[in-house]
Amino acid sequence: MRLNYYPAQATAPRAGQLRAGAHTDYGGFTVLIGDLLMRWTNDRWLSTMHRVVNPPAADGPSAARLSIAFFNHPNYDTLIECLPSQGPARHAPVLAGEYRDLKYAKTGLIGAGER
């Protein structure tokens, strides 16, 4: 489970500004479908790109926002590779934890190798 805190904004955001940029989720399963499930199914079930938008600029400065997201990740050392029933693999095998660390490092959430 992860708590995402979006602090109050003292001034209205610029037009088109996002609170969290476009991204997919890193684990095996979320309501939106995650990257690792996409790899297991050889892109049959696609990970959904999504973002966090700001309230309309006409509303002026916003209050703080907290979202609570529950993520289900495979064990850190689980090998993620295309299921044999899904045909030739489109993605190289990867360990679930190493993949998650790489994605976290790209977003600046934690350094690679941290759990």
Which tens digits make up the pLDDT trace of 31-84?
A: 668 899 899 999 998 888 888 877 776 766 677 877 777 878 899 999 999 999
pLDDT for 40 equals: 92
DSSP symbols for the chain: -EEEEE---SSPPPTT-EEEEEE---SSB-TT--HHHHHHTTTSSPPPPEEEEPPPGGG-S---EEEEE--B---TT-EE---GGG-S-SS--EEHHHHHHHHHHHHTSS-TT--
What distance in Å separates the CA atoms of residue 82 and residue 90, rounded to the nearest whole number?
8
Which tens digits make up the pLDDT trace of 6-20?
A: 888 888 778 888 887
Distances (CA, A) of 41 to 33, 35, 83, 101: 11, 10, 6, 21
| Tokens coding 60 | 């002026």
